[in-house]
Amino acid sequence: MNVMPLVVYGMVPVVEGKPENEKSASPATPDFVDVVIEYAVDGAASAHPEHAVVRRNGTITWHTSPGVDEPFEILPKVAWVADKGPSLDVLALQSHHNNQENWQEVRIGASAVPGTYPYGIRANGITVDPDVVIKPQ
Q: pLDDT value at position 24? A: 47
CB 58 within 8 A of CB 32: yes
Q: pLDDT value at position 26? A: 61
CB 117 within 8 A of CB 47: no
Mean pLDDT of each 10-residue bin along the chain, 137 residues long = 38 42 65 95 95 91 95 80 43 89 92 86 93 87
**Is this model's pTM higher than 0.85 or not?**
no
User: How far is Cα 83 from Cα 81, in angstroms, rounded to an integer?
Assistant: 7
Break the chain into its structural domains and give their ranges: 30-135
Which fold, 30-135? Immunoglobulin-like (2.60.40)
C-alpha distances in Å from residue 28, one per residue of 106, 130, 133, 137: 24, 22, 14, 7
CB 104 within 8 A of CB 98: yes
CB 47 within 8 A of CB 21: no
Q: pLDDT value at position 123? A: 96
Q: pLDDT value at position 40? A: 95
